[in-house]
A and B are shown apart, each in its own frame.
Chain A
């Protein structure tokens, strides 16, 4: 569990983001070369600009790596920490990530179920669970009832705004 948390914080840390962007750029560059050679018979092709962009991106990422290393070197002395401190930091990082992971999963679930369950059911569940994701501490039964009421009001107001005011069709389970 701890190693998973460490992997997550590395992936979303400065190095992880650069590595992800680097991988994305390399895939982009390979795909660009698959379109056509950048210059064919003396004329520019559809891959010329993407190849140029990928080169600029690689240079920019190089710049980011260099500045990150410079920053890390200047702050190295102050960041030496014990194993206990490191474990505490992992726990704090894990707690900080709970909210974003929950919101991402709830939103992904909402998108997946939106057309199948229809606007009313999907939105009510999403709004209710989102109020829980933004809650502080464990909610009491009264708080849960209030959140359900809020979710219902959000769902109805959303319906009023989109379907009645702007006259757009929202999905229903039977369409």
Chain B
């Protein structure tokens, strides 16, 4: 009962005039970044990170939640109208939405995408509110060796989910953990890898890594593109849509069915809970399942509204699922929640089993922001901005990237008033750019950096408890459970999959 009261208080806080603008502003920023090809909502949250030093924590979390939710569904607009997914999670939407646009049904496709995003996002937020306390109670049962095995499980799943680039995923993750070891040791008052300089004594902050890996590296990638605008003018002319066509016909909604909407939301939420999965995988898994169970699989790939509903419902439900491991265990499953974890850490808060109990008042507005963003902001934004959206996202690249460069670097400076941090951001930016060019997943670098210190701490604490005997990880039941789970995931994602391909 107290939990429900706190949640309703969270809604009241969200509606306060000093917090509500962050929901609306965050949603609009997320929509813009999610829709412009080349930009992502993750970049928007990365740019927001330095500002959280001088921002109220509740406002910052609300803005992050709104950006995350907006980024997932706004990619569908450019995916449908001009066949360029604004975000990777909208790839499946482009497959179904663009054929509908070519048939003159683009507005209807967008209406279906928005409806599915609304339902998926709202169900995901409700599942988060229901499941988060249960996950927190489960987290309380995990002891030190189990915590090590849980983090190891998360990192291993993140690495093996890099299909076709597992070695590169391992390199990027290990590199992130290595960067996190710079500074004072987690257990003893010993400095490591400071090379005699005082500036590295405190270790490397998450902020230059985030700004470098996501903002500066994006600038370097985009500087190779010689187009003058983000979306070409010809595409704008070809994408005329009318507002009155946005409302999907009731017969088609019934044909998709309540069951499919709920199933895709559960799939999306479940994929979100897994480390390293993300919106693209949620959309793909739900789309594949929808096609498998459809009465009209032949329509898929030619403009199926079921396919749009499955992909969009799942990627929006994923947003809420991704918050579960971050809030309950302090383990972010994807780069966006890793940055949100950074926002909390910057403000002196460490998520974990006690976090939801002690900081519910702080987190409740963020839960509500996910729900309100899905239920209100998704349809409202489509209705108000939909007809002009392609025009809005077609902007001059020189203006856009010069602005992003200034916000990223000055943001890096104002967070700590340190020129050194700006320099670090550039170093990480160049490093991330070179890694990206060769297909190393940069998201792994950030997740390794975030999870590395806890991995080391729990590993050494466990071994101290057992006088250096590594068998403690096998004799502790919770640890054994996570190690077995790692084995199961490894079997299904690495061993069994190639076998299945061979048979095919």
Interface residues of A (CB under 8 A from B): 12-14, 17, 20-21, 25, 28, 31-32, 35-36, 39, 42-50, 53-54, 56-57, 60-61, 63-64, 66-67, 96, 99-100, 102-104, 107-108, 110-111, 114-115, 119, 123, 126-127, 130-136, 147, 150-151, 154-155, 157-158, 161-162, 166-170
**Bound complex: CA of A61 vs CA of B440, how far in Å?**
12
Q: For the complex, what is the distance from the CA of A150 to the CA of B400, rounded to whole Å?
A: 10
- Of B280-288, B323-331, B350-358, B455-463, the segment with at least 4 beta carbons within 8 Å of chain A is B455-463
Contact status of A35 and B223, CB under 8 A, knowing A50-B178, A127-B402: no
A96 to chain B: closest CB distance in Å? 5
Given contact pairs A53-B174, A57-B171, a sample of 6 additional A-B residue pairs in the complex whose CB atoms are under 8 Å apart: A49-B460, A66-B167, A103-B405, A111-B426, A133-B398, A158-B407
How far apart are the CA atoms of A96 and B417 in the complex, in Å? 34
Nearest neighbor of A124 in chain B, beta-carbon distance: B406
Is B5 at the interface (CB under 8 A from chain A)? no
Q: Is the interface of A mostly helix, strand, loop or mixed?
A: helix
CB within 8 A of B406: which of A13, A17, A31, A158?
Answer: A158
Given contacts A12-B434, A46-B187, contact A134 B410 (CB under 8 A): no
A82 to B190, CA, bound (A): 56
Q: Which 9 pairs, one residue from A and one from B, show the smallest C-beta to C-beta distance? A: A99-B223, A63-B167, A134-B398, A130-B402, A46-B185, A60-B170, A131-B398, A168-B414, A46-B190
CB pair A46 B405 closer than 8 Å: no
Whether B187 lies near A170 (C-beta < 8 A) is: no
A114 and B422 in contact, given A158-B406, A168-B54 (Cβ under 8 angstroms): yes
CB within 8 Å of A: which of B397-455?
397-399, 401-403, 405-407, 409-411, 413-414, 417, 419, 422-423, 426, 429-430, 433-435, 437-438, 440
Taking Cβ atoms with an 8 Å cutoff, the residues of B that contact A are 51, 53-55, 166-168, 170-171, 174-175, 177-178, 181, 185, 187-188, 190, 192-193, 195, 216, 219-228, 397-399, 401-403, 405-407, 409-411, 413-414, 417, 419, 422-423, 426, 429-430, 433-435, 437-438, 440, 456, 459-460, 463-464, 467-468
Beta-carbon nearest neighbor of A159 in chain B: B410
Question: Given B223, B410, B423, B430, which contacts A162 in the complex, CB threshold below 8 Å?
Answer: B410
Q: List 10 A-B contacts (CB under 8 A).
A: A17-B435, A46-B190, A114-B419, A127-B402, A127-B405, A130-B401, A131-B398, A135-B228, A158-B407, A162-B414
The reply to whether A115 and B171 form a contact with Cβ atoms under 8 Å apart is no
Cβ contacts under 8 Å, A64 to chain B: 167-168, 171
A111 touches B223 (CB 8 A): no
List, in ascending order, chain B residues with CB within 8 A of A161's CB: 407
- Bound form: Cα–Cα A63–B160 in Å: 13
Q: Which of A44, A110, A157, A166 is B51 in contact with, Cβ under 8 Å?
A: A166
Q: Which B residues are in CB contact (< 8 Å) with A166?
A: 51, 54-55, 414
Q: Which residues of B sit under 8 angstroms from A168, Cβ to Cβ?
A: 53-54, 414
Interface centre among A50, A54, A155 (most CB of B within 10 A): A50
CB of A45, distance to nearest CB on chain B (Å): 8
- Are B181's CB and A50's CB within 8 A? yes
Q: Which of A31, A147, A150 contacts B193 (CB 8 A)?
A: A31
